[in-house]
Structure 1
Amino acid sequence: MLISTWASTIIAFTILMAGAVLILILATNHLPIILQNIVPLILLGVGIFGIALQFLLINPSEGFQIIVSYKYLKHKFDSFVDSRGYKKVRPFTFIPENPEKDIIKMVDKNVYIAGYSVVGVYSPTSFTSDLKEYAKLDATLLTNIERDTTIITDISINKVIPEKLELPDNATQAMLIARNLRYQKSSSNLNNKNIKTNIYVSSPSLEVLQKRRARLEMQFRQGLVLGYQQLHKNDLKKAIKSIYF
């Protein structure tokens, strides 16, 4: 719902009066030309009335309606410009304080992220006692991480792209046939997929992230996962892009 106030009414009235004076001056000094171009004069009057109306109406949450209209037109223009070309977004970057490049930082926020590729311990053959032990380790990890840090688990199912096994130069014909049969079988299998699990640790500062990461790796070594590998450089960059892009 749009409203008006005494201030907006006075501003709108002032704009209308200024517009009327402008039109009167133009009509007085350039009447022959205006009579030949009456349409532009009408459009000028409509424009002045529209601007006054924009100042008269007020959005209770956004302010003057002219500000709301400006933001809307700017958004539409920016969307049109962006749609005409490729815009490369880089919300994350490596930091100079981390030459190993195993930590990235959000560009506009104080958020630092480290990632791990892990092999999980849960399986259909896990015993109840094992599950209890894993749950205990998980609870200990969440307690040690504290509230300033977030742990995110990303599980993805990816299609496996088979590759032909490299054979030595003296490979026999039978070895070549066996290799080709195995490759054809893998290529034709639509269910040939693997599960990839990544764990990310996010903290508000580099120092906090280093402490939380040390605690996480300690839990890893105590049996929370079967194996882990820290992501760095291009591997970390690709992993983050797979989530956000």
Structure 2
Amino acid sequence: MTEPCYSKNPDNGIAISSLIRAFHCPRQYFFYKDIPSKPAIQYSICKLVSCAEKGSTEEELWYTLHMIHPEISEDKRHFLRDCLMAMEHAPVRPWTETDISVRSERAGIHGLLDKYHAQNGEYTLTRCTMAPKTGCWAEDAIRTAAFLLCIEEAGAVKTPGIYIEYVRSGIIRYYEPTPKDRRRVLHLIQQVKEIDNGEFPHKPLNPPCSRCRFSDRCAQNAPRRLSFLLKK
């Protein structure tokens, strides 16, 4: 499940992936929003493994990957191999449709849902991160809540939760969003709207500064302290 991090046309609404970026750090979203997004090769590999027919070989899938990403480098092959090994005995989620565009006009968000199975009315997200020890990651809880807002508004098959495939771990989890998750989604929507309108966001309580590529730019844009102004 992936889509461009930022919609250049505000009439399209907010991409669910934008909410996730803002959840990690609203300032990261501020700096990322004008950078063209690159194809996520690891996601493509996980999605291919997730949707592959039973018995598909590494060679067959690597050939398919070359058609999807002609520029893919040979060093990505070990990632494909690891995913295949991890999912060898996992109960892969069935599907009748894949890459389903969903939207909530009321919430103003949109995204691509990875899998839908018409026979049982179940939805699945495909992730390329390792699975947590229990449950799902906080960002995946937000993803699930955001996608369910879209599904519910569309009047599609109702479901209290969504399956999450952690392909690299070979683990499938089922998650039902809580009211707290939905509140977070609504808060993030408002936050992203404010940033898109030009507002520079406040730094969150626990920002991921140590591994952020924008740390220098973030510091340059930091509001000046009152004590600094009084020195003038």
Measured against the shorter chain, the TM-score band is under 0.3
Larger helix fraction of residues? 1
Answer with 1 or 2: which has the greater Rg: 1
TM-score of the aligned structures, taking structure 1 as reference length:
0.21
